Chains A and B, each alone.
Chain A
Amino acid sequence: MAAKFPNITPSSRSLTMGDLPSKVYRAMSGATVRRAFGNKKTGYVMKLQFKNLGDDVSVRGGTQKTVKEILDHYCEVNGTFDTFNLGRGLLKGMGTDSANYFAGTATQSPEVSWRYARPPEVQSVQAGLSNVSVELIGEIDA
């Protein structure tokens, strides 16, 4: 398991729950039969937006988290290939009950492996500051 995702509190976050892998047989009458192919949910998605991250460490006296931390992490985990752990900090701002639920079932569950769903997207918004969009996917590794 590679390094944990950088501990940066996101500006916005959306978390989509996983689902049982299944297929639907739909008859011409409209009646449906569903077949499950496994007994555990998979395919969790977490979309994170980090606004106004510094492009340089020197921004705000060197205490600012930077775009480079996310890009370094992306390279360290070999892009979308390797899995990594998520810190509790990514759920910061969420109520305790919801945060505990998501942490237990998804973000910190030992059964769910997280990796980048696609490369991070960096959008420059003004000199020295960028918005970074990250999409992560949580799946069950065989």
Chain B
Amino acid sequence: MAENQIRICQFIKLETSNGKVYYYQNYFIGENKTLGGTPYSFVPFEIDGGVSSLNADNQQVTLRLPASEYAVRLVELGDGNRLSKLVVYTRFINAAGSIKSGGLDEYYVGIGASFSDDTIELRFRSALDGVAAGFPARTLTEENVGILPLESTLSLR
């Protein structure tokens, strides 16, 4: 009756703005588990959010961690989680504790973080194609537009 028992382990690869990469998993308590040749250490995190929709872009997910020292450090290193990259590998585990082949791989970019008294939430988006009219995002500087106006009434010609 294995079909009515689900064991899911989420492996995350989190790259902060300084290029440092962290590998964590949330199922095998207190263990290092190897996926694709890389050891993932245990961290009690949870992830929730959308996986797909008809619009197919910009899914938001939230990575929730206890507000411990390493989690605060992760947020700082990711510049408030605006410059971090996240890969989530969702894998099914069999009754013997082995990782089954296949699974879901998702890629996200950081968009911010929030703190509460006991948790830290890192928020991510799945794609860059949802920025619509703002793409490519450019900053007006004196170098590319000349003298900058003192008010927001701009017209592009």
Contacts and interface: CB of A to CB of B under 8 A. Distances in A.
Interface string A35-70: 111111000000000000000000000000000000
A25 to B, nearest CB: 9
Contact of A37 (B5, B27, B43): B27
Interface size class of A (residues with CB under 8 A): 10 to 19
B6 A142 contact: no
Interface size class of B (residues with CB under 8 A): 10 to 19
A36 B29 contact: no
A135 interface: no
Nearest to A24: B4
A31 interface: yes
Please classify the interface of chain A as helix (H, G, I), strand (E, B), loop, or mixed, using the class held by over half of its residues: loop
Nearest to B3: A33
Contacts, number: 38
Contact of B8 (A35, A111, A140, A142): A35
Contact of A32 (B4, B30, B97): B4
B73 interface: no
Contacts of B28: 38-39
A64 to B, nearest CB: 41
Contacts of B97: 39
Interface string A125-142: 000000000000000101
B107 to A, nearest CB: 24
Interface of A: 31-40, 111, 140, 142
